[in-house]
Chain A
Amino acid sequence: MSDRPKGLVRWLTTTDHKDIGILYLVTALFMAVFGGAFAGLLRAQLSAADLKVLNPDLYNQFLSMHGTVMIFFVIIPALAGFGNYFVPLLIGARDMAFPKLNALSYWLVIPAAFLMFGSFFVQGGAAQAGWTGYVPLASRQFSGTAGVDMWILGLHLVGLSSILGAINFLVTIINMRAPGMAYFKMPLFVWTWFVNATLILFATPVLAGALTMALTDRAFGTGFFRPSEGGDPLLWQHLFWFYSHPAVYIMVLPGMGIVSHVLPAFSSKKIFGYKGIVYATAAIGVIGFMVWAHHMFTSGIDPRLRAFFAFMTMVIAVPTGVKIFSWLATIWGGQIRFTTAMKFALGFIALFVMGGISGLTLAVVPFDVQVHDSYYVVAHLHYVLFGGSVMALLAGVFFWFPKMSGRILDEKLGNVIFWLIFLGMNITFLPMHWLGIVGMARRIYTYRPEFEFWNQVASFGYILLFAGGMLLLYNMFKTLRKGERAADDPWGAYPLQRTLDWSVSSPPPVENFAKIPEIA
């Protein structure tokens, strides 16, 4: 402990999984401020018809960067942050398998972020082709300036970061479990990261390949995606979604893992159907690779493919449903304590069910054809990503903050934060379902006047979200400076759950355990 460097040097040179976890989380929080600010600009522009807050070029830049940043620089790093901090702790290991590689994974995110944010300042501005970067719009011919190149290189770097991280997680989980910790004794958060790392390992290299092809098309005039050279723009869509569909599970599985710790802890019960949840997680991982073309139902793919992907999309709803019912059964008959973490976990269920069911309606191809690329999809994706990933992350923040900092976040403020975010989220995104059904296309900087009312409502919701976010930051700063000290097991979670995170001091010592625990 004593020979650890202090201050800035510690954070720049650390290879301790806990420090790296915190670095990831702080980075994600910082990025979320930007991603959230971009969202605010979009909502400001859309708060009435024909406004001129942003011109179309800027709207498309902020739109593309909002999506990219939220996914690749907020949710994925934040989950990696919790993963880094807690996976070794939960399996009774002293660190990740490859601590230096772990540090490298984190540090790759920083130049990637510079490329992304820096692109606003180059000539022509940031990429404008959406976070999906569809070609030919993202090709040199239609996006000639450096923005898309920087976007591609930035994604390359975060992709590499995830792949290295995934290898590390897999080796750690396979090799470094404490004696006695069989696979079916691993806490669910570890399980979700296990499946998640596998997903990353299979999916992310495909993204890297696709990005490389796009880059050579742009830089060297190859024709992977150009019909005049025998290429095909649809190839990009297939490759992109082959990554990005599993990516939505990459963004939600660890969140489900967090929730699977929070719900039992505050219901004073064991998780219901542990094995069922494990199997469901694995099933989602496998089937998740067989649904990507449901993002392409209107693209003109072969009808037999449409039928297959519609069917598989329905199939994947089944294991997802199993999890939801298992969580409900977990709180059923419990003694529920409504801490802020628990509220976020319950809010997660409420919102994720909504996003799941709207996702199911999108598997119904004729309906998807009506609402694809409309605001219905914007509503759906935010119910999943905000209502799913972000709510779970916030549950994790309130749940694990005492473990990581030694201080408990203010629960009174926490209550206000929860309600601002929960109501704000619904007021912002619920009306978007209706907007999409009646015909408002997505990714538009302005709209016909008949869509104005619900857009005003949505923009009002953003104000609540903004207030909630600011209050959360305030709560963190305040708590770090003079918050109430946390016991080793502030929630009383250990006696029933026996997860090792609560068995060590808050914060845990360097190397976590004086003596590696034996699991009975």
Chain B
Amino acid sequence: MKKIRIFLLSGFVFFGFAAIGWADEPITNWLTSPEGPLARAVRSNFYFSMAAFLPFLILSEVLLVYAIFRFKAKPGGQAATFHENLRLEVLWTVIPALTLAVTAIPTFKTMRAMEVPPKSDLVVAVIGHQFFWEYRYPKYGVQFAEEAMVVPAGKVVTLNLSSVDVVHSWWVPAFGVKQDANPGRITHAWFQADNPGRYKGQCAELCGKLHAKMYIDVNVVTPEEFEQWLMKKKGAAPPAQAAGSQ
């Protein structure tokens, strides 16, 4: 009986670690290959805080399991009688507090990086609709909806987000970006994708019936391809009547 339990428990722990190390073609890989400086900063911040927090998780769980096996009642056994220890109590208040103070520093740094973008190369207005995204490139007079956003690689893209109906949230994990799009106010985000490719995401705020299908696609292309794409967009759809939905 006892063997079975130990077996189950260790299988369970193994399962936990296996879960962390395994991904079957995830839609994002911000952990294995974050895209751009912001996503990389987010990842290092994540690793740093995990390194700070995990010891506490492991310590508590190990102490718990140890106590369970070690202090099993025995016939005639005597329980200890201590029930206070000021030094210990101060210690387990102060050490976690200090650890948290230390993790707060890189966290605030990364937050600053998220909030203060470098000089913008491209501004895109992102507008949430039930249940699709509309993109506008004011500088180029281009606007469209229900297709992939296209941006040049290696450039700083700043987003101004809003919504025409309910709250949506624009989330592309590989870029380290998630930002709500609210009706009646404009929110901001930025990213810089270094490598061309197609990046996937989806709406992250319950927005109604088809919330689950409100996908996001971003095509990151070379700057030349981006110019070509712009020309084509302008030729194909004059800005005044673009974005079929409006």
Contact status A303-B115, CB under 8 Å: yes
Closest B residue by C-beta to A314: B100
- Kindly state whether residue A447 has any CB partner on chain B within 8 Å: yes
> What is the total of A-B residue contacts with beta carbons within 8 Å?
270
Interface size class of B (residues with CB under 8 A): 35 or more
Contact status B184-A447, CB under 8 Å: no
Q: Is B178 an interface residue (CB 8 A)?
A: yes
Do the beta carbons of B25 and A450 come within 8 Å of each other? yes
A453-B24 contact in complex given A273-B84, A298-B169, A369-B176, C-beta closer than 8 Å? yes
CB-defined contacts of B169 to chain A, threshold 8 Å: 298, 373
- Contact partner of A336 among B25, B60, B67, CB < 8 A? B67
Contacts of A298 on B, CB cut-off 8 Å? 169, 178-180, 204
User: In the assembled complex, which residues on chain B have CB atoms less than 8 Å from the CB atom of A344?
Assistant: none
A residues 295-310 near B (Cβ < 8 Å) are: 298-300, 303, 306-307, 310
**In the docked arrangement, what's the CA distance between A96 and B107, Å?**
48
List of B residues within 8 angstroms of A445 by Cβ: 212
**Interface contact B111-A318, CB-CB below 8 Å:** no
Please determine whether A353 and B60 come into contact, CB atoms closer than 8 angstroms: yes
Is the Cβ of B187 less than 8 Å from the Cβ of A441? no
Which residues of A have CB within 8 Å of B20? 433-434
Nearest neighbor of A436 in chain B, beta-carbon distance: B173
Inter-chain CA distance A439–B67, complex, in Å, is 37
The answer to whether A519 has its CB under 8 Å from any CB of chain B is: no
Q: Is the CB of A439 within 8 A of B12?
A: no
- List CB contacts (< 8 Å) of A321-341 with chain B: 321-322, 324-326, 328-338
Pairwise interchain contact A370-B178, C-beta atoms closer than 8 A: yes
Contact check, A439 vs B80: say whether CB atoms are below 8 A apart: no
Chain A neighbourhood of B204, CB < 8 A:
298, 372-374, 441-442
Contact A142 B166 (CB under 8 A): yes
CA distance A443 to B28 in the complex (A): 19
Stretch at the interface among B41-49, B136-144, B222-230: B41-49
* Chain B residues numbered 175-201 whose CB sits less than 8 Å from any CB in chain A: 176-180, 182-185, 187-188, 200-201
CA of A444 to CA of B204 in the docked complex: distance in angstroms?
9
Q: Do B185 and A366 touch (CB < 8 A)?
A: no
Task: Contacts A317-B100, A361-B49, A441-B204 given; indicate if A272 touches B83 (C-beta within 8 A).
Answer: yes
Q: Identify which of residues 123-143 in chain A touch chain B, using a CB-to-CB cut-off of 8 Å.
A: 128-130, 134, 136-137, 142
Taking CB as reference atom, which chain B residue is nearest A237? B167
Give the docked Cα–Cα distance between A332 and B67 (Å).
6
Q: Tell which of A269, A314, A321 touches B92, judged by Cβ atoms closer than 8 Å.
A: A321
Considering only CB atoms, which chain B residue lies closest to A264 in the complex? B83
State A273–B88 Cα separation when bound (angstroms). Answer: 10
Residue of A270, A346, A367, A374 with most partner-chain B CB within 10 A: A367
Would you call B68 and A372 a contact (CB within 8 A)? no
Task: List A30-56 residues whose CB lies under 8 Å from chain B.
Answer: 56
- A29 interfacial by beta-carbon distance below 8 Å: no
Interface residues of B in 35-71 (CB under 8 A from A): 41-42, 45-46, 49-50, 53-54, 56-57, 60-61, 63-64, 67-68, 71
Contacts of A490 in B (CB 8 A): none
A314 to B96 Cα, complex, angstroms:
10
CA A419 to CA B89, docked complex, whole Å: 33
> Residue on A with the closest CB to B186?
A300
CB of A328 within 8 A of CB of B211, answer: no
Contact with B64, one of A142, A328, A337 (Cβ below 8 angstroms): A328
Q: How far is the CA of A325 from the CA of B97 in the complex (A)?
A: 14
- Give chain A residues whose Cβ lies under 8 Å from the Cβ of B81: 269-270
From known contacts A298-B169, A333-B79, A372-B178, infer whether A439 and B26 are also in contact, taking CB-CB under 8 Å.
Answer: yes
Asked whether any CB of chain A lies closer than 8 Å to the CB of B77, the reply is yes
Encoded as 1 (CB less than 8 Å from any A CB) or 0, chain B from 157 to 181 comes to 0000100011101010100111110
Q: Roughly how many angstroms separate A305 CA and B49 CA in the complex, as a whole number?
A: 21
Q: Contact at A361–B180, with CB atoms within 8 Å?
A: no
Known: A268-B73, A299-B180. A134 touches B206 (CB 8 A): yes
CB distance from A54 to the nearest CB of B (A): 12
Known: A307-B108, A357-B56. A367 touches B45 (CB 8 A): yes
**Contact partners of A228 in chain B: CB under 8 A:** 184
Q: How far is the CA of A372 from the CA of B26 in the complex (A)?
A: 17
- Residues of B at under 8 Å CB distance from A? 8, 12, 15-16, 19-20, 22-31, 41-42, 45-46, 49-50, 53-54, 56-57, 60-61, 63-64, 67-68, 71-74, 77-85, 88-89, 92-93, 96-97, 100, 103-104, 107-108, 110-111, 114-115, 130, 161, 165-167, 169, 171, 173, 176-180, 182-185, 187-188, 200-213
User: What residues make up the interface of A, taking CB atoms closer than 8 Å to B?
Assistant: 56-57, 60, 128-130, 134, 136-137, 142, 226-228, 232-234, 267-274, 276, 298-300, 303, 306-307, 310-311, 314-315, 317-318, 321-322, 324-326, 328-338, 346, 349-350, 353-354, 357, 360-361, 364-367, 369-370, 372-374, 419, 423, 426-427, 430-431, 433-434, 437-439, 441-448, 450, 452-454
In the complex, 6 of the A-B residue pairs with CB atoms within 8 angstroms, ordered by the A residue number, are A270-B81, A322-B92, A353-B61, A367-B45, A434-B19, A439-B171
Closest 6 CB pairs of A and B: A227-B184, A333-B80, A300-B187, A444-B212, A438-B26, A335-B73
